Amino acid sequence: MSMEVTAWNAMYNAMHAQNDSRPFTKETLRRIMAFAAPHRRLLVGFLVSSLGVAVLGVLTPLLAGRVVDAITTGAPYGQVLQLAVLIAVIAVAVAGLGLLTRWLSARIGEGLIYDLRRVVFDHVQLMPIAFFSRTRTGALVSRLNNDVIGAQRAFSTTLSGVVTNLVSVILTLAVMLSLSWQITVLALVLLPVFVVPARRMGGRLARLQREAANHNSVMSTQMTERFSAPGATLVKLFAEPQTESREFAVRADRVRDIGVRTAMLQMVFVTALTLVSSLALALVYGLGGWFALAGSLQPGSVVALALLLTQLYAPLTALASARVDVMSAFVSFERVFEVLDLEPLITEKPDAVPVPDGPVSVEFDGVDFGYPAADKVSLASLEEVATLDPRAGAQVLHDVSFHVPAGRMVAIVGSSGAGKSTTAQLISRLYDVDAGAVRLGGVDVRDLTASSMRRTVGMVTQDGHLFHDTLGANLRLARPGATDDELWAALRAARLEEMVAGMPDGLATVVGERGYRMSGGERQRVTIARLLLAQPRVVVLDEATAHLDSRSEAAVQEALSEALAGRTALVIAHRLSTIRGADEILVMEHGRVVERGRHDELLAAGGRYAQLYRTQYGAHVAG
């Protein structure tokens, strides 16, 4: 490795070192070893091949020195040729071992990345909805990308680097001291001139790098928010494009200035260190030449010392920054483990049972619920705050009890914030109750398997969320093995067949981010088609028509009547006209059921339901 490459590597490592003061623990090391265990054979092969490269690297300068000695002493050409052939053989062996080392490094590194990403991804999927509502998505994605890659460097780069550099330094110093201890000691005097600036300059560059990263992060957030369909609409309606542009330009201008300054500091740094290495070589040639002319040192030894010196500074410099490399990798591991240590609030019991066969009833029995405290469901580093609020949320539901017989429809109405949507989320076990029980088919949802619950309960919310994928892929989330004919049948039932058939790509049409290439009514009907494809026995509708115009609402209502036919249904409604035919209507206020009955009964009672109805339709509207 050349001195210039060594300088660039030293500077890069210092710039990208993790700035974290958390202590490294034996427990972290134990967990790291657990991840490395499946790759131990590859790791052993990696270290052996790396050591082979280090040993062979010391032999080449010695052989080069012997070639010089053979030439200067007039040795037969055959001896010179033998040495040249041996140098060539060593070069081929080094090249082969280098390829083997790189292959092993790639296998280990990519294997660790796969293992870590899979474990973190699977663990994050177990987190409650509260986790995702609090966490910054970008920070979470960074754990799956940047920190995972930083963690794998502990094995693919740092571990082998420390071992091979240590062996290389020991062997090189031993050989150099055997040739001339005086020249070796004097050459080492210049080492601090090489290492100290690397550490100090690297720190300055690291600060600039972090500032640039912060600006880039803010610009990325601004672009992500403003370039989404709802964000762009908001800017066009209310914000000033010139103001947005100025804010973006200020940060882009600072990143540009940092880039120019960083480039110049890097060049000065590399130039200075390359100059130091050249001065060290000049010292070897000057002092070694004087010893050679005095007869106390062979000319070949001078050449060997010069070549060995170029192989000494590189590993010494790498070892000087090894602690930074090791701690950076360990910090990445700890940031990954921090996510893995966050316990899921919703877990499946080992003896969980499936939802009973046949029609399924829904029952709430004395349910109390309050949203969990932030420190139970999130991490400060993922929310980018100093500390999390340990206080739990206020109680949302108070002693809520009701029963939805199998095949019947119960509706819930009430003011905003009354606890209606919370009730719906408890049926799907997005949260667990604090007291009481939610039962499906007479079995507490905490005793049921998650897979059977997903098959049993289908939910349609008011936002009609779709992924940036094809229409067919969005539908097949409900049933991955569904045929195209089954998709068309679901679309027909959702009153979407004609519209989708008119699209140029049909089921292969990409719906756009969050489905924004479709109207609100179309998105909602796609979610209903997805529900129909899943064929759940229990349907939960959470204000599925709240934000639709009259025409879209009529189409969605037709689709919903198909979805609800013969199924147990809990319908949360804003528009009371949509639930007049419900078997029972529950009126919720402040987390309590304050009224219950059929539409006509509640109107006649003149209570809260009657007030809500008159507010929407006027006092003259009869029941």
CB 391 within 8 A of CB 373: yes
β-strands 457-460, 409-414: how paired? unpaired
Average pLDDT in the chain: 80
For 347-366, write each residue's pLDDT tens digit. 889 999 999 998 899 999 99
CB 55 within 8 A of CB 171: yes
* pLDDT given at position 136: 72
For 240-288, write each residue's pLDDT tens digit. 777 778 888 888 888 888 888 877 877 777 777 677 777 778 888 888 8
Residue 21 has pLDDT above 50, yes or no: no
Residue 160 has pLDDT above 60, yes or no: yes
**Looking at 30-34, 200-204, 264-268, 274-278, which range is the least confident one?**
200-204
- The model's confidence at residue 238, banded by pLDDT at 50, 70 and 90, is low
Percent share of the chain, pLDDT over 90: 13
CB 561 within 8 A of CB 409: no
* pLDDT given at position 198: 59
CB 318 within 8 A of CB 165: yes
347: left (phi over 0), alpha (psi -120 to 50) or beta: beta
Q: How far apart are alpha carbons 372 and 383 in whole angstroms?
A: 16
* pLDDT given at position 519: 76
Percent share of the chain, pLDDT over 70: 82
- The model's confidence at residue 587, banded by pLDDT at 50, 70 and 90, is very high
Residue 622 has pLDDT above 80, yes or no: no
* pLDDT given at position 386: 55
Residue type at 566 in one-letter notation = G
Give alpha helix (H) positions in 227-240.
229-238
Q: Does domain 3-340 have CATH number 1.20.1560.10?
A: yes
Q: How far apart are alpha carbons 470 and 518 in whole angstroms?
A: 12
**Residue the block writes with tokens 């990403």:** 117
For 376-435, write each residue's pLDDT tens digit. 777 776 766 656 666 566 789 999 999 999 989 999 998 888 888 899 889 988 889 999
Q: Tell me how far CA of residue 575 lies from CA of 545, 580, 609, in angstroms.
A: 8, 10, 12
Structure tokens at 551: 């025409």
* pLDDT given at position 193: 65
Break the chain into its structural domains and give their ranges. 3-340, 362-372+407-617
Q: How far apart are alpha carbons 484 and 345 in whole angstroms?
A: 38
Residue 199 has pLDDT above 70, yes or no: no
Q: How far apart are alpha carbons 546 and 525 in whole angstroms?
A: 13
Structure tokens at 500: 């989708």
Burial (0-12, 13-18, 19+ Cβ within 10 Å), 523: buried
**Looking at 112-126, 199-213, 450-464, which range is the least confident one?**
199-213
* pLDDT given at position 553: 65
pTM over 0.85: no
The average pLDDT across 162-166 equals 79
Specify the fold of 362-372+407-617: Rossmann fold (3.40.50)
Q: How far apart are alpha carbons 53 and 60 in whole angstroms?
A: 11
> For residues 177 and 271, which has the higher predicted lDDT (pLDDT)?
177
Q: Give the number of other CB atoms < 10 A from CB of residue 5.
A: 11
Eight-state DSSP code of residue 127: S
* pLDDT given at position 298: 87
Structure tokens at 517: 């290439």
Residue 6 has pLDDT above 60, yes or no: no
The average pLDDT across 472-497 equals 86
Angle of the 299-320 helix axis to the 160-179 helix axis, nearest 10: 150
β-strands 538-542, 568-572: how paired? parallel
**Looking at 56-60, 333-337, 574-578, which range is the least confident one?**
574-578
The average pLDDT across 526-547 equals 82
Eight-state DSSP code of residue 387: S
The average pLDDT across 601-605 equals 90
Q: How far apart are alpha carbons 48 and 29 in whole angstroms?
A: 22
